[in-house]
Structures are given as structure tokens and as C-alpha cells.
Amino acid sequence: MIGKTADPAAEVADRLWRVYAPYRRGRSTAGDLDAMLAILVLAAYAGAEGRPEVNFVNRWRRALAEAAVGFSPLADLRAALQEAVRRPGFPLPWSSVLELGDGSDDAAWMTAFVAALDETPGLGGTAVADVCELLLQRHAVEGALPGGEFYTPRGIADLLVDLADPGPGDRIMDPACGPGSVLAAAARHLAERGVLDDNSFEAYAVDRDNVGPATLNLALHGVSMPQVEPADPAALLRSRGRVDRVLSNPPFNQRIEGWGHERFIAPPESSGSFAWLQLAWSQLKEGGTAAVVMPARAAWAGGAEARIRREMVARGAVLAVVALPAHLFAGTNIAVHVWVLGRGHRSRSAYQSDSVILIDARGTGSRSSERPRVLSGEDVDRIADRFRLWLGGSEEVDEPGFSRSVSYAELIENAGNLDPRTYVGTESGLGGTADLSGMLADFERRSRETSERGVELAQIAGAQDQLARDGVGYRSLLLKDVVSGGSTASGRPVRLLAGPSGSLVRAQDYVEIGGIPVVMPKDISNIGFIVDGIKYISEQHAERLDRFRLSRGDVVVARRGDLGRCAVVSEEQQGWVCGTGCFVIVPPVTVDSHYLAAFLRSPEAKEWLDAHATGSLALQTISLDVLGMLPVALPDLDTQRSIGEAMSSLDAHERLLLDQLAAMRDIRSKALSSFLRE
């Protein structure tokens, strides 16, 4: 939730969302975001370019007046847009992104939306662009954005831009643009320097539903006639070395079709993550720079990925890797890295011809009762300044606990490991005092985070109390009927599936280094997945088990042991494999994954499963047929989301408390060693 603030854009965005939110229930919201942003484009243009005697301005003002007294403004909004498009200076041609719904379901929310927008006269172009970003953020938090690509928060987008540092005349690309937030940050960066009109922008949306939001977002950020197209990575692979800067937050494990026909700086058996990295690198001109968000695992995974990293380092393609904290993205706690790539010797200074700078920025960012964690301008400046010092050959680039310039030789010796945690240690003073101080500082940070989470939980508890007092209506359906047909938002079929038999994943199939994780019952807890001790199979083997691979939103259920144990797949587990001894539930769009997992863990569900289990008391087990007969209480989707979000917050708080307990035990152990050391 966006709280009260002195920022006028935040106040406007909060007001607009509050009047819109009640109209989400019981109707299709597809196209709502496009319509919101189209109205903002019209508002910004009318405020900047319009004169009272111009017809489209009169139409716009009449729409405002109609909305203020509760009449539908749709007809005048459409007419105003059609006339504005014909005027010089309007940032978009007429296209489907400027269409304003079908008129029946949309009139009510648009009336409230336009009336609320009219309460802020004279909102300037920059402020309207900020309102756009805040509405995108709210859609992301509420799970209302198109799938396939994550919304990139402003702090991360600004960091990508500051690291790549686009300049006048640069050609800038995002091959997986989502709703356009990263390129919008690049537009802000260039506009502040007065050179925006000299640059060109190329945007490609992996999810076609993002073409509209990205186009409108860029227009609101001053990009005239932005060109956003559905992504065709295979076509990009055939056209290389075209752009000066690549900025992207791609879908990490989404494979690129046609990749096997091309070869760049690594063999074609690369993972989805490395395919996107190498796609970004392939598009750069000589001297070009790319800044790309990657899962943390890409920096240290073994097997084929380690070979790819070694080759990338040996070719001088990697300039920097920045480790960022968890909880930066809405809906997931995944921790990410930013990779900075360069093409050719002109992308780096002569001072740094054989090294990479690694920055451990996991301690940056702040969290209040609102989620997710936010990178401040100061955090972004600190990271980017360290990178610039390294590029300039400064001897002060190394900062204990934060950054270090690491030679190619050391990286290659460590199997191409690029995880900043491996190389960036705390300063070790006499008797290890500095190390202990650092641990205590980290514990204090964890304590603050736990306290902040407690405030959020108090707010959630209040909302859930109100929900309980109001009463929750629900249908009772068998689980097999819940997943009896239809598809997910991404088009995957809904299903209830048992993991592969033991003959498909044998003991000798597991690999020691790298590979794809296989989830077994021991790897599932009621607060998430347990990675310590998880086993791996090769990428080639995982491809043969494609039907058992996990996607975001799947629910993995243990079929033996403590029944009812389950976890929801996040972006971090995308592409993992469901192992023997587990079930996978792929719920339809009408069922919230976190609610379903919470229900499966409930005492009522566990009691039912225990009563229908077979085996001994020490090792109970259930069959797929039995799980399918489980009665599920299913309220409406908004109520499911409310309950699911509350339970997810409780799970996250429990993880924080467990981490804090482990940190305290570690401090106690280290403290004794520190005191006894001579």
C-alpha cells in the first residue's frame, strides 16, 4: 500500500488506485492498465500543449466535468484522444493502446478514475510520469500485471541505467521490456541531461500484453513515438552488434527458441539465464555496455554454467557483478545480481584490462511496513560510484565488506565463480574484532527488519480480523474438480500431477556440481523450500523430464511423511524439477496459489489427509487419487488473495526469526573464539 506522503505524485497515485480498486472484483480487468495510462497521456498532453480554444481540450474538459457529477466520460475521452492524435507533438499514433475499453464494464471505474484525476489540476508532465510508475508498482504488488516478465522497481531500474550510463545519441535496447520501466528510467536519465531527443529506444515485450503498458509508459516519459514490439529473440540473434546499451530484467529461465543455431561466447547448452545474458552481449556494438538482472545462482552454479562463466571472463565480457538484497520485487523474496557486460576493449579502461569488480550490496535498501524493499537514490549512487571508480583505475576501489577488484586469474582459479560473497569479506582486525563487529551490525539490521515486519503483521492482523467479522462465503469443491480444466494466466494447462517414478530419476543420475535442483519431500517446509542438501540432475536430464518442471505459482506437495507440507514455487524455483515423492498442483487463474497452500497446511486439511493415508504412523503416504478427493473451501478470488498474502507474510516473518536465531548462535560461537584468540 502507498501510504500518505508529501510527494504529490504518490498522493495522486494512491487516490487513483483507491477509487479503482473496488471495481476489480467480479469483472475482467484485461485492458484496464492500458486505459489508465492512455488517460494519463491525454491529461499530460492537454496540460502541456492544449489551449482552451482547441477542440480536443474542450472534449477533455467536458469529460472531466461529466466524471465529476457521475456521468460516463467515455465518449468524450475517445473523441479527445482521436483529435489529439492528429495534432503535432502528440507522442503516439492512433493504435489499439489508445482504445478505452468496451464501454459496458469500463464506464463505472473510468468515471471514478477521471473524477479523482481532476482533483489535482496542473499536474506536470514529470509528475504524471511518476504517477504512471506508481500505478505500475501498485498493479505489480496486487498481482495485476501481465505475466512472463517482472515489474522492475524504480531503484533497480535506476541502478541498471547508472551502471550502463547511456549518453547522447546512444541506441538503447531492452529485449524483455515488461511494462517498460527500465527504458523509462533511461529516458529520465537522459532528459535530466537535456539529450533525450538524440536517442533511440528499442523495446521488446516477452508477454504481448505488455506492449500497450510499455508503449504508454515510454510516451509518458518523453519518448516520442515509442516502438514496442512482441519479443522475437531468435530474430535478434540473427542481427548482432547494433546497439550502444542493453538494459534488461529478463525472465530468468525462459528459454530462447532458436538458440541452438547460434554460437557466441559459450556453447549452446547454456541455461535460460545465460542465453539472455549472451543475447544482451551479442547486441552490443564495439565499446557497448549492458546491465542485466540475473538470479543469484547464475554467479556460482557449476557444470555447463561454470564453463560459460569462465569463457565470458576469459573473453573480457564481464565488467561487474553486483549482489542485491532479497525482497526487492513484489510477490517474491528472490535475491538477484546485476551483471554489467562490455563488448571489446573500449568498454573498459586500460587500468582494468584483466579484472572484474564484484560488489556485495546485500546490505542496501530499506523496508518499512510496506513491501517490497526499496533501493534509495543514495544506495544506487554508492554502487554506481564504486563501479565508476573501478573503471577509472582508482586505487580506492576495494572496500572491505562491499567491493573488490578481482583478477581474471583468481576468477578462473575459482571455476569462474562470480558471486561477490566469495571475494568480498569483512575487514579482519586484531583478534577478529572487526569481523565480530560486522556480525553484530548485521544482527542489528536483522532485528530492525524483524521489527518492521512486526508492524506490517499488525496491520495484516487488523485486516484479517475485519474479514473474519464480516464472514467469508465459500464453495466446497474436491481438489480434482478445482484442477479439472482450463489454463493458467500464462496458458499452461491446469493439472494435478505426481512426480516422476524412481526409474526416471535414479541415484546415479544425480550430479555433484551444478545442474537443476530436484525437489523431494525433505526439501519442502511449510515456509518454503529448503536448499541445504538438495540434489541436482543435469540440464539435459531435466529437459527429458520437461512435464515435471516447475513454474511460478505451482504448489508442490509432499506425498509422504508430515502430510499437508507444501510450498509455492517462486521465480527462484522456476525450472526446477518435481521429484519422486511429491505432487504438483498447477491451479487455474481463479485460485490463488498462496491461499491453496495455506488451506493444504490447515489443521482441517491435515486431519482429513491423515485419516485417508496409508502406511505406518512413522511414514504416512497418500496417493494422487486420495489427494484429488480432498474437499477444498474456496472463497472468491479477492478473499483468497487477502488470506494468501496474510499467510505469506506470516511465513516470511517466521523465516526472519529463524535467520535471526541462526545469526545469534553464530555470533555466540564466534565471540568466544574472538575472546580467546591471541
Higher pLDDT, 11 or 186: 186
Say what the pLDDT of residue 339 is: 97
Q: What is the mean pLDDT of residues 454-465?
A: 54
Confidence of residue 73 (pLDDT cuts 50, 70, 90): very high
Q: Which residue(s) pair with 557 in the sheet?
A: 566, 583
Question: Does residue 562 sit in helix, strand or coil?
Answer: coil
The Cα diameter of the chain in Å comes to 85
For residue 307, what is its C-alpha cell? 564453463
Helices (H) and strands (E) in the chain, counts: 22, 23
Say what the pLDDT of residue 643 is: 81
215-274 pLDDT per residue, tens: 999 999 999 888 899 988 778 877 888 999 999 999 876 666 665 545 566 654 556 778
For residue 130, what is its C-alpha cell? 511518476
CB 161 within 8 A of CB 182: yes
Report whether pLDDT(373) > 70: yes
Instruction: Find the DSSP H helices in 142-293.
Output: 154-164, 181-192, 211-220, 233-237, 272-282
Instruction: Give the Cα separation of 68 and 76 in Å (integer).
Output: 14
Q: Which DSSP category does 125 fall into? A: H
Confidence of residue 65 (pLDDT cuts 50, 70, 90): very high
What number of other Cβ atoms are within 10 A of residue 119's Cβ? 13
**pTM of the complete model beyond 0.85:** no
Matching residue, cell 479503482: 20
Query: In terms of Cα–Cα distance, which of 337, 419, 325 is closest to 364?
Result: 325
Query: In terms of Cα–Cα distance, which of 341, 351, 339, 338 is closest to 405?
Result: 351
Higher pLDDT, 121 or 657: 657
CB 13 within 8 A of CB 3: no
Where b means 16+ CB within 10 Å and e means fewer, 364-397 reads bbebeeebbbbbeeebbebbbebbebbbeeeeeb
Say what the pLDDT of residue 428 is: 40
What number of other Cβ atoms are within 10 A of residue 474's Cβ? 12
Report whether pLDDT(485) > 80: no
Instruction: Give the Cα separation of 178 and 148 in Å (integer).
Output: 8
Q: What is the mean pLDDT of the chain?
A: 82
Where b means 16+ CB within 10 Å and e means fewer, 332-341 reads bbbbbbbbbb
Between the two ends of the chain, the Cα-to-Cα distance in Å is: 52
541-553 pLDDT per residue, tens: 888 898 899 988 8
What number of other Cβ atoms are within 10 A of residue 520's Cβ? 21
Instruction: Give the Cα separation of 624 and 613 in Å (integer).
Output: 11
CB 52 within 8 A of CB 153: no
Report whether pLDDT(170) > 70: yes
Phi, psi dihedrals of residue 421, rounded to the nearest 5°: -60, -25
Report whether pLDDT(432) > 50: no
Question: Does residue 371 sit in helix, strand or coil?
Answer: coil
CB 292 within 8 A of CB 257: no
Return the amino acid letter for 396: E
CB 660 within 8 A of CB 446: yes
Phi, psi dihedrals of residue 258, rounded to the nearest 5°: 90, 0
